[in-house]
């Protein structure tokens, strides 16, 4: 059974709908309008207040209800989504942000539905009647465009690649759909570690100030925090910094860390290894500060500053403060 809908799975972090969710609502509406489909937001385990907020932006909100969905767990989320598809019919497209949860549960459901799944998309469009995407492959060396012929087509989308739509205004309706979950999913959560307390969420930040091994010591990261503060940004780090135990893994940007697409990315003392660049190469403007003029990071930068980050950053902070 099919349904003529496009679903965006909403994400809630720190009690709020994420910026990526808003971006995807805009993308889904555009795709839906182009093929006369119904765009809908899907809330798995969120609260009524979030459903109502979504209903102001999209005509239909499907709220999946079960007390076992209050906190994220991949097997339960996959189960819930699968059941909704069975109850309601197969939508043309299901999309969510390519965050750590999206890339975990979406392929599980795609596999169960015998459907195509594409991860880390940077654009979505129609190829004839098939939904299609553009996404980096081979470690970001090339981009591929692929269309998915199965229904539904599953996509996870890199945060920040679509703008936040300004004029979404709706009086949408909320449908609450109860579902059953298995008692035992075979998984037992031992501990949950969230974003480091007091830190901004990297994937959502409009400005990221990132530091690498070139920052020299863990104490020097206080400088980055100051720069991030004056720019209202978040601090990110390279893997070398995490491996050295200087900063926690939830701040890592790159292939084995987070993918970010801020308006401004400032890379300080980062060499620009492909594994790092993969996590930030869709940032709108990249500024690199490195004392080696041949550092690879300059190839991915819009503006480069050759110099000692420990000297340049305080000057930057002073200059920004004098302008604000």
Residue 306, interface with ligand FAD (CB under 6 A)? no
Residue 310, interface with ligand FAD (CB under 6 A)? yes
Q: Of residues 152, 159, 233, 269, which one binds ligand FAD by CB under 6 A?
A: 269
**Residue 4 φ/ψ, nearest 5 degrees:** -85, 60
Only segment of 33-41, 101-109, 161-169, 306-314 that touches ligand FAD (CB under 6 A): 306-314
Site size toward ligand FAD, by CB under 6 A: 28
95 vs 253 by CB, closer to ligand FAD? 253
Q: Of residues 295, 301, 313, 316, which one binds ligand FAD by CB under 6 A?
A: 295
Least Cα distance to 28 among 97, 101, 103 occurs for: 97
Using N-to-C axis directions, what is the helix angle for 74-88 and 102-112, rounded to 10°?
A: 40
Only segment of 28-36, 94-102, 155-163, 264-272 that touches ligand FAD (CB under 6 A): 264-272
Q: Of residues 39, 159, 257, 304, which one binds ligand FAD by CB under 6 A?
A: 257
Is residue 226 within 8 A of residue 254, CB to CB? The reply is no
d(CA 163, CA 142): 23
d(CA 252, CA 269): 14
3-state secondary structure of 58: coil
Only segment of 47-55, 66-74, 181-189, 269-277 that touches ligand FAD (CB under 6 A): 269-277
The burial class, CB within 10 Å (0-12 / 13-18 / 19+), for 249 is middle
Is residue 175 within 8 A of residue 62, CB to CB? The reply is yes
Binding mask 199-238 for ligand FAD (x = CB under 6 A): -------------xxx-----------------------x
58 vs 313 by CB, closer to ligand FAD? 313
Residue 270, interface with ligand FAD (CB under 6 A)? yes
Residue 103, interface with ligand FAD (CB under 6 A)? no
- Tokens representing 221? 């990261």
- For residue 8, the cross-strand partners are 41, 95
- Tokens representing 289? 């500060």
Residue 156, interface with ligand FAD (CB under 6 A)? no
88 vs 255 by CB, closer to ligand FAD? 255
Least Cα distance to 153 among 70, 31, 43 occurs for: 31
Give the footprint of ligand FAD on this chain (CB under 6 A).
212-214, 238-241, 252-257, 269-271, 273, 275-276, 279, 289-292, 295, 308-310
């Amino acid at each position: 059974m099919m349904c003529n809908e496009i679903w965006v799975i909403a994400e809630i972090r720190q009690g709020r709908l994420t910026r990526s969710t808003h971006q995807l609502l805009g993308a889904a509406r555009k795709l839906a309008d182009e093929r006369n489909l119904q765009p809908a937001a899907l809330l798995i385990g969120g609260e009524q207040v979030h459903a109502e907020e979504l209903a102001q932006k999209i005509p239909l909100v499907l709220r999946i209800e079960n007390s076992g969905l209050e906190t994220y767990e991949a097997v339960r989320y996959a189960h819930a989504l699968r059941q909704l598809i069975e109850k309601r019919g197969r939508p043309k497209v299901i999309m969510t942000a390519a965050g750590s949860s999206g890339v975990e549960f979406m392929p599980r459901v795609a596999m169960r539905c015998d459907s195509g799944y594409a991860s880390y998309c940077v654009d979505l469009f129609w190829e004839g009647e098939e939904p299609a995407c553009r996404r980096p492959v081979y470690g970001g060396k090339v981009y591929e465009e692929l269309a998915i012929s199965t229904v539904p087509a599953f996509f996870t989308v890199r945060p920040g690649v679509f703008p936040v739509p300004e004029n979404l205004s709706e009086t949408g309706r909320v449908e609450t759909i109860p579902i059953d979950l298995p008692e035992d999913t075979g998984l037992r959560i031992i501990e949950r570690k969230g974003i480091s307390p007091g830190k901004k969420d990297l994937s959502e930040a409009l400005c990221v100030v990132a530091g690498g091994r070139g920052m020299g010591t863990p104490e020097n990261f206080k400088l980055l925090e100051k720069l991030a503060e004056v720019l209202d940004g978040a601090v990110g780090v390279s893997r070398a910094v995490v491996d050295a135990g200087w900063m926690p893994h939830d701040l890592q940007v790159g292939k084995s860390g987070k993918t970010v697409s801020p308006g401004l990315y400032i890379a300080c003392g980062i060499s620009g290894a492909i594994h790092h660049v993969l996590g930030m190469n869709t940032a709108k403007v990249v500024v690199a500060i490195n004392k080696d003029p041949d550092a690879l990071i300059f190839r991915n930068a819009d503006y480069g500053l050759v110099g000692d980050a420990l000297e340049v950053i305080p000057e930057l902070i002073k200059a920004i403060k004098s302008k604000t």
